[in-house]
Chain A
Amino acid sequence: MGPNGSGKSTLSYVLSGRAGYEVTQGSATLLGQDLLDMEPEERAALGLFLAFQYPVEIPGVGNMTFLRTAVNSQRKARGEDELSAGEFLKDIRAKAKSLKIDAEMLKRPVNVGFSGGEKKRNEILQMAMLEPKMCILDETDSGLDVDAMKLVAEGVNALRSEGRSFLVITHYQRLLDHIKPDVVHIMADGRIIKSGGPELAIEVENNGYADLLAEVA
C-alpha cells in the first residue's frame, strides 16, 4: 500500500521488465535468478506474473489463442511438452467457469469490449492458467463492484499455496477482507517505510498515510 505516486506500479513494471525504466541500483531475483537481466518473457517463464492495473486490449487476437500461445511458450521455454489442444481446452474451461468467464469471452479478442470487471477476471484467469510462482496484482480491485471483487479474491485465494507468493498492490483495506495478507508494506517515495501485519492496513484505512509519512520524515 502507499499514497498515489509512491512508486507501486513502477515497481511492478520494473520487476516484470517493461521498457522505459532503468535500474540504477539494487537487485531483483526470483528463485535465485537475476530478474533484471531477463526479457519480460523469460521472467514470465521463470514464474513471474503481473496482473495489470489496466489490462491491454488487443484487437484481432483471440483470447483463447493468446492464452494457449502464452501457456505453451512458457512450457517450451522451461523445456516441458506443449499442452495439446484438448488438454488446454479442458483446463481453461474449468478455470474460466470458476471465474464466471463464459465461452463467448474466451472467443473474443483479448480484452476488447470487456467491462472493467471482465478485464480483471480475465487477468486472474491468465494467472490461473499460467500457474506462476510470484504474482504481482496491481490494483486488481480498482473499478470492481463488490461481487466482482469477491470473484477475483476467490480466484486469488484458490491459487494460494506453498511455493507461490503474491504481491498485492491496493489502496483499499476492503480487498484485504477477502485476501488475507501475511505482511503489509507501506511504500512512499519509492521506499518501503513501514511493514507490519494485517493491522497496518486497517490503521491506514482509519488514519490515512499522514501519520506514517510524518514518522519517517
Chain B
Amino acid sequence: MEAARKSALARLQAMGLPQRRDEYWKYTRPDLLITEDVAPAELLILDEAPLFDTVERLKIVFVDGVFDADASDDLSMEGVEISQLKDAPDWAQSLYGVLEENGQTPVKRPLAALNSAKATQGIVIRVFGKASKPVSLIYVRKSETSDVMLHHIIRVEKGADLTILENGPAAARLNTVMEVDIADKGAFHHVRAMGRDHARRAATHIFGRLGHESTFKSFTMTVNGKLTRNEVVLELTGDDAIAHIAGAAMGDGDFLHDDTVFITHDSLNCQSRQVFKKVLRNGATGVFQGKILVKAGAQKTDGYQMSQSLLLDGDSQFYGKPELEIYADDVLCSHGSTTGAIDDEAMFYLQSRGVSKAEAQDLLVLAFLDAAVDEIEDAAIADDIRSRLEGWLARRRD
C-alpha cells in the first residue's frame, strides 16, 4: 500500500493542486479545500432522530475521521468481509488507488490523488452473495477544526449485492474517496446524506468500475454546507451494466453544491442515468458538470442526464455544464439542464384551494426534488430522506 500511496503522491505532484483557472474548477473555488489551515466550522447540534435510525443495518462509526470500534457494531456479517483500511487484505491493497488513478484520465482530480496519497483511515468491504443488511458508515464530528480524509475500498463479487449508507457531519473539512469494483452481475446501492453543519467543506469522490450486467445506484442528499464538491466517476466495462446517479440538494445562503460526474460507456448495451435536482435560495449556488463519454465500441448505449435547478429568488445561481462525447453510432443519449423559478400557475392553483403561500411553495419544492429521491429503490429509506427534506423546509417556514 505504501507503493500505491507514493505513486498517488507522484501523480498529485505532477498535476498540482486544483486552481481556479482549471476548467473543472471554474465554478467552484477550490481554495477552502486546499488551504494549509482548516477554518473552524461550528458544530450543529440536532435535536432529532439520526437518519437511517429505523433501518436494520451494520453500523461503522468514525469520530473526526477515526474509526471508533466501541461505537461500531461487530464487523462480522455473513458473506461480507469488513476490515479497517489499515488492516486491508491483499486484494484491497492491490486495488488501492487503482480506480482513482484510472479516473484521472482525461480529467485531473487532484484532491482524489491527495486522498490516495495521504489517507490512513477508511473501511474495506468485500461482499459475496446478498448482504443481509446495509452497511452504514456514520461520520461523527466532535472537533470544530477536524480535517478528515477517508478512503474506502469496496469489492462486490460476482452476483453479490451490497447497500452502503453514509451520513453524519464528518468534519470541518472532509475529503473522501470510495473505490467500488463491481464484478459481473453484482449490485451496489448507495444512499448518502452530506453533513448539515453550515460551515463544513467537503470534496468527495466515488470511482466505480462496472462488470457485465452489474448495477450501480447512488443517491446523495445535501442540505447545508458551505462547500460540497461531489465527484462520481464511473466506467462501464461490461455489457448490459446499469449506472444510476441521483442527487437532491437544498441550499440557503452561504452554500455551494457541485455535482461533477463522468460516465464512460465502454461496453455494449449499457444504461446510465443521472438525475440531479437543486433548490437554491438566498444567494446559494449550484453547479453541475456532467459528462457522458461513449467510446467507439459502446453500441446500444442508453445515456440519460437530467440536471434541474429551482431558484427561489434572484440572488441564487446555477451553473450547468452538460457534456456528451459520443464515438459510437448506434446510441441513445439525452440530456437536459434547466434553471427556473417556482411555477406561478401551480402556486395560484394551490393557494386558490386554501394552501398558504409558504406551504404551497414547500409542496412544489418537494415535488421538484422527488424525481431525484424517487431513484432510491428502498421505499423506507426514500421516505426517511423525504422527511428530512420536509423538515429542512419546515424549519425555514416558521
Contacts and interface: CB of A to CB of B under 8 A. Distances in A.
Interface of A: 16-19, 39-41, 43-45, 49-50, 52, 55-56, 58-61, 65-66, 69-71, 73-74, 77, 109-110, 126, 130
A145 B365 CA distance: 35
19 contacts: A17-B351, A17-B352, A18-B348, A19-B348, A39-B356, A39-B357, A41-B354, A44-B352, A56-B345, A56-B346, A56-B348, A60-B368, A61-B363, A61-B367, A66-B363, A70-B350, A70-B354, A109-B367, A130-B354
Given A19-B344, A60-B370, A39 B359 contact: no
Closest 10 CB pairs of A and B: A60-B367, A44-B354, A74-B354, A70-B353, A40-B351, A56-B349, A60-B370, A61-B367, A41-B351, A73-B354
Given A60-B364, A66-B350, A70-B353, 8 more contacts: A41-B356, A41-B357, A49-B352, A56-B346, A61-B367, A65-B363, A69-B359, A73-B353
Interface string B358-395: 01100110111011000000000000000000000000
A55 B349 contact: yes
Contacts of B360: 41
B259 to A, nearest CB: 20
A61 B352 contact: no
Contacts of B366: 60-61
Output the residue of A41, A44, A50 with the most chain B CB within 10 A: A41
Interface residues of B, number: 22
Contacts of A18: 348, 352
Interface of B: 344-346, 348-357, 359-360, 363-364, 366-368, 370-371
A37 B126 CA distance: 65
B370 A50 contact: no
Nearest to B363: A61
A40 B352 contact: yes
Nearest to A71: B354
Contacts of B350: 58, 66, 70
Contacts of B356: 39, 41, 73
Contacts of A126: 353
A19 B357 CA distance: 13
Output the residue of A60, A74, A109, A110 with the most chain B CB within 10 A: A60
A16 B352 contact: yes
B372 to A, nearest CB: 11
B374 to A, nearest CB: 9
Contacts of B346: 56, 58
Output the residue of B345, B348, B371 with the most chain A CB within 10 A: B348
A17 to B, nearest CB: 7
Nearest to A50: B352
Contact of A58 (B354, B359, B367): B367
A49 B292 CA distance: 49
A61 B354 CA distance: 16
Given A56-B349, A58-B349, A58-B350, A41 B355 contact: yes
Given A19-B348, A52-B349, A59 B367 contact: yes
A61 B364 contact: yes
Nearest to A16: B352
A45 B354 CA distance: 6
Contacts of A130: 353-354
Contacts of A19: 344, 348
A49 B349 CA distance: 11
B354 A39 contact: no
